[in-house]
Amino acid sequence: MDFYVVLVTAPNSATAKTIAEALVSENIAKCVNIVKDIKSIFHWEGKVQQEKELLMVIKTKKENFSSLMSKVRELHPYTVPEIIALPIVEGFEEYLGWLNS
């Protein structure tokens, strides 16, 4: 079984909570951690921008990534939300078993 950690930023707590609850309740993701108070510096529309954001750290199966991306795009207010999947190459066997359940 292949697993991903997916990173998604959000503009505020309400958005992050809505997305996280939808992903977990619909069994698209097993767990979502919400990390508050990150500062993002990025290029957008020809300018360097700075925003306070939250970071969602989402654990899911690789097979759920397409559904996860669709759900985030449906609920996210950004035109181009950050949705980045990183493969989990190793992990605590019992945790990976739980993630697979």
Instruction: Give the total number of structural domains in the chain.
Output: 1
Q: Which domain holds residue 72?
A: 3-100
Q: For residue range 66-75, what is the model confidence (pLDDT) as tens digits?
A: 999 999 999 9
- Give rounded-to-5 percent helix, strand, coil for the chain: 35, 40, 25
Say what the pTM is.
0.94
CA distance 63 to 1: 9
Q: For residue range 12-68, what is the model confidence (pLDDT) as tens digits?
A: 999 999 999 999 999 999 999 999 999 999 999 999 999 999 999 999 999 999 999
- On the question of pLDDT at 1 being above 90, the answer is no
Task: Residue 60: name the closest of 17, 19, 101 by CA.
Answer: 101
| CATH number of residue 10's parent domain | 3.30.70.120
CA distance 51 to 66: 27
